[in-house]
Each structure stands twice: as C-alpha cells, then as structure tokens.
Amino acid sequence: MNNAVLLSALMISCLCAAPALASDLLIRNAKGDEIARFSQDDIEALGTRHLTTTTPWTDEAVTFSGADGKAVLEAAGLKDTTVLAIALDDYAIEVDWTDFVEHNALIATRMDGERLVAGKRGPFWIVFDYDNAKAGIVADLRSKSVWHLVEFEIE
C-alpha cells in the first residue's frame, strides 16, 4: 500500500513539473547534450522584433513579437547550422540557416501582445512574414512554422 501511494505521488509530481520544463527553449547537440536554454524573457532580451502577418492558423492578421531566430542561435554560439525544430507534440522539421537569415524567421514569444503558453501555440512559435514571401516558398515556410516549439536539435 505504501509503495502505491509513493508511486502515485511521484507520478503526480512528474505531471506537475512537465509544463514548467516545457516553458524553455532547449538547444541540444546531436548527442543530446544541452548547449543552451532560453526562457521567454531570455529570448525577448535578445532584442524584440514585431511582425504583423496573416497565417492559415489565425482568423485575421496578427502581430507576433519575439527575437530573430538568427540572434537566438548566435546567442547559443551557433552559426550557419541546420536545426531540427521540435514541438511539444513531437512534430519535428529541419530549419536551415537560410530560413533564419534570408527569410527572417522570428522566434515568437507573444501574439497580439499576449504571452504564448503551452496549449495556445506556445511557449515559442517560429513564424515568417507569409504575406511578403515569394509565392513559391510560402508552403515551405508554413511547414517550418513550428508552434509549441520547445527544442532545437543541432544536426
């Protein structure tokens, strides 16, 4: 009986801790070693940029706020690299350096001024200026627009 109570308490504590762990953007190397970890405040401290655009996931144009993806990677000591962007639901896709530089990927922490949170597309969302992107690349950028972003794995 005591083991069952202890196991239940352990399971509850793990479930309660999970959202706190998912509030940071973790950057790992291919071996799984942590390279860097950023909170939303850390990301915003890198310099806030605002981007107003329409998306297929919102009813109208919205304003995203966050830091340039390039700045985030550089703050982690990375340059000219491809990352595997991973979401809370394990959706994962490769995003390469040109997406961060040439297509000005934004690591959003806010949408219309409100903090992104788990369950509402947060804690981070990779977004692009879909309205001004060349027609031939919009579908590719949309596929790289990871919401519920929690991790970059360096390839």
Q: What's the confidence (pLDDT) of residue 76?
A: 97
Q: Is 94 helix (H, G, I), strand (E, B) or coil?
A: strand
Residues 6 or more apart from 49 whose CB is under 8 A from it?
65, 66, 67, 68, 106
Q: Which amino acid is at 138?
A: V
Query: What is the pTM (predicted TM-score) of this model?
Result: 0.84
User: Tens digits of per-residue pLDDT, 35-44?
Assistant: 999 999 999 9
Residue 50 φ then ψ, to 5°: -110, 140
Q: Is 105 helix (H, G, I), strand (E, B) or coil?
A: coil
Q: What's the confidence (pLDDT) of residue 22?
A: 61
User: Tens digits of per-residue pLDDT, 63-80?
Assistant: 999 999 999 999 999 999
Number of domains the chain is built from: 1
Range of the domain at 14: 2-154
Q: Residue 107 maps to which CATH number? A: 3.90.420.10
Q: What's the confidence (pLDDT) of residue 135?
A: 87
Q: What's the confidence (pLDDT) of residue 20?
A: 37
Q: Cβ-count burial of 14 within 10 angstroms (0-12 exposed, 13-18 middle, 19+ buried)?
A: exposed
Q: Which of 1, 112, 113 is nearest to 53 (CA)?
A: 112
